[in-house]
Structure 1
Amino acid sequence: MAQEGGMTAKLEIRKSDKAYYGGKPGVWQRLTLPPIPYLAITGKGAPEGPAYAEAMSALYPLAYAMKFAAKAEGRDFTIPPLSTQWWAADPTAFVQGRRDEWEWQAMIRMPDFIDATFLDAARKSAKPGPRRNEVRLEIIDEGDCFQMLHIGPYADEAPKLAELHDELMPEAGVTFAGPHHEVYLSNPGRTAPEKLKTILRQPVKPA
């Protein structure tokens, strides 16, 4: 971690890994990601539903407890944006809006130096809350991916995803290698829908 004036600089993952959090709006790009550690918790149901909200109340206190523990060791970092993997047993659940069938894994990226000892300590230091014991530290290896910066409402993602699934992936000779992954760069409670920034990511493998 860089030194500034004799003090350790705070790690800004979103800035240090710009390629993973940006791109030309509306344009699919291909990139290869290394294995990345995340705090993760799984669930089922619509993103505005109680299960997803409960997952947030489990994830964030632990993430901040780990941040403060790292800061005490001189390795402070900024909490990266929330991201979520989405899938369904029947993929038409997304097209037809059957949101109660959506399955997900909500995640917050962690620095590479974070390990299970940080999570164990965070469980003990954070205030008790529902589902805290279900949060785990998981290495996500997405590898070869298509990625796009989407600007606008979440509901407007469908045409771009259709372009990826029906045109770009077949042309590239690849198929799905993991769940659809979204990284939420904007706070929907503070940002107008037309200005929301979301990274859309799809891991792929040879068809």
Structure 2
Amino acid sequence: MKHEWRKHEKELYMPKQKPQLVSVPEQKFFMIEGKGNPNSHEFQEKVAVLYSLAYAVRMMPKQGYTPEGYFEYTVYPLEGLWDLTEEGRKLNTLDKDELLYTIMIRQPDFVTKQVADKAFEVARKKKPHPLLDEVVFDTTEDGLSVQILHIGPYDDEPLSFEKMKKFIEDNNLEIRTLRHREIYLSDPRKVEPAKLKTVLRYMVKRL
């Protein structure tokens, strides 16, 4: 049976529009770092490079190579860890040029370093890109987190963040890091801003 993250991992990817506590296990990702406005051409190029690797893994059996433990699955959505530069934190309004990010696409558990290396090889042959050299394959674990489903424009996310902060305060929790995670369930090229669905997540600890 095909693994559909929307159906089989609802707790992580399909939260409600109110804050909830969740435990996020260790996960594997292709990831790339950057600084600046996510509306820039450079950002879009980095997204494209990540997807080239994600689909290289997904299509391996059709290329004559089936990794051990491989199963049919839907490619995971784009995610991002977001922060601000020291200069950006001093400003009263958000300057997107001062954003720091690590964007990533999760990989199934069967993806080992060997499989990831094969994906790099396939991607370089199909469409060489200098940004491939900046991508790393690594694991990360958010652990105890508070998340919410935000529906609407990205610029309206502060409204959802305020709901999360109140939930965190009311439940004797504390945000562990200034960075937050966003998981993009919608394609902004195809979905109007008012209907965009984004999972927002703070990593927290109990007081």
Unaligned runs of at least 5 residues, structure 2:
none
Determine whether 1:100 maps to 2:92. Answer: no
> What is the match of residue 4 of structure 1?
none
> What is the identity percentage for the equivalent residue pairs of Structure 1 and Structure 2?
34
Q: 1:59–1:108: 8 Å Cα contact kept in structure 2?
A: yes
> What is the match of residue 122 of structure 1?
119
Q: After the TM superposition, which segments of 4 or more aligned residues of structure 1 sit over 4 Å from their partners?
A: none
Give the 5 Å matches for 1:23-172.
23-25=15-17, 27-69=18-60, 72-73=65-66, 75-90=71-86, 92=89, 96-126=93-123, 127-165=127-165, 167-172=166-171
SS in 1 for 2:71: coil
Return closer, same or farther for 1:45/1:185 CA change in 2, 3 Å cut-off: same
What TM-score do the two structures reach when normalised by structure 1?
0.87
Aligned residue identity for 1:106: I
Aligned residue identity for 2:202: Q
Unaligned runs of at least 5 residues, structure 1:
1-8
For the aligned residues, what is the CA RMSD? 1.9
Distance 2:61 2:74 in 1: 11
Q: 2:148–2:164: 8 Å Cα contact kept in structure 1?
A: no
Aligned residue identity for 1:62: L
Structure 1 residues 94-117: Cα deviation after superposition (integer angstroms, max 9, x where no partner):
861211110001111111111111
What TM-score do the two structures reach when normalised by structure 2?
0.87
Structure 1 residues 45-84: Cα deviation after superposition (integer angstroms, max 9, x where no partner):
1111133112112211111111112564252321111111
Return closer, same or farther for 1:94/1:45 CA change in 2, 3 Å cut-off: farther
SS in 2 for 1:200: strand
Q: 2:33–2:102: 8 Å Cα contact kept in structure 1?
A: yes
Q: 2:147–2:164: 8 Å Cα contact kept in structure 1?
A: no
Distance 1:176 1:105 in 2: 19
